[in-house]
Amino acid sequence: MDINFECTMCGKCCHDLKLPLSVDEALVWLERGGDVQFLCEAVPWPDEPAEDNLLAQHKRRRSFAASSGELPARIVVVLAAAFEGACPHLQANLSCGVYDQRPTVCRIYPAEMNPFIELNPQQKACPPEAWSPDKPLLMSAHRIVDVQTAALIEKSRAADANDTGAKALACKHLGIDTAALSNEGLAIHSPPREQSIAALRLAREAGGASDRVPEWKVASNRRETIDTLVSIGALGVLCTAQETSSFQYLGFFSASA
């Protein structure tokens, strides 16, 4: 199926977001006075996956190695520009106030960065006229054919892979060491802006090199998950309240105490 698309500049996609950013983009966002959250998830990683396990290899590229007690794990950290309502850069005329420096994800939308998610126009904020057949071809036979968008997606995936060491170091500087069990939720850390800037700069200057495998705790809001984690020697944290002392737990399932 072909998908045609052209942005109508309606501004609908610039509201209520957690925009994923590269480390360099997060620094720019913070230095402009924005807020950046650290969304952390832990993937148990007892063995290295086969080369042809494309989903696992994708997760591996965008994560760093860690341990949680006796459990080997990989930690995915997404730096997200978070805002409720309109983006702080959205102008009254619905144009972007930082258009030439806007994050890569804003340039890619409505295409998907995740290679395992198919673009579905029904799930996008764009109005019907943005998708009409007279617009430029964006996607054909499940592939992005717009050259600029395809290049931006590749750039974004490369940054995702290159930034893992810097993210690990930044978390260490900030004392962030708890991630939600993958597929069950997210641990959302919101360090003060100045501390985030300092940590990300230090991590960037260090070249993202880590001296040892860091120790992380694994959080869940489900008692049975924590019991299982503890039974295999992992450091489990039961989050019965959404807000904990140091992070917010966003669960995908109902809590069980």
* Contact residues for ligand SF4, defined by CB under 6 A: 7-14, 87, 89-90, 96, 98, 102-103, 106, 109-110, 125-126, 130
How many helices (H) and strands (E) are present in the chain, helices listed first?
7, 12
The CA angle 35-38-43, to the nearest 5 degrees, is 165
Q: Nearer Cβ to ligand SF4, position 119 or 126?
A: 126
Nearest approach, Cβ of residue 89 and ligand SF4 (Å): 4
Nearest approach, Cβ of residue 117 and ligand SF4 (Å): 17
In 22-120, beta strands by DSSP E: 36-44, 64-68, 71-86
Distance separating alpha carbons of residues 204 and 31, to the nearest angstrom:
15
Q: Nearer Cβ to ligand SF4, position 13 or 206?
A: 13
Q: Nearer Cβ to ligand SF4, position 5 or 64?
A: 5
Q: Nearer Cβ to ligand SF4, position 12 or 61?
A: 12
Nearest approach, Cβ of residue 153 and ligand SF4 (Å): 15
Q: Nearer Cβ to ligand SF4, position 132 or 240?
A: 132
Spatial CB neighbours of 79, under 8 Å, sequence gap ≥ 6:
20, 21, 22, 23, 25, 26, 36, 37, 38, 39, 167
Nearest approach, Cβ of residue 221 and ligand SF4 (Å): 30
65, 238 Cβ separation under 8 angstroms: no
Nearest approach, Cβ of residue 211 and ligand SF4 (Å): 35
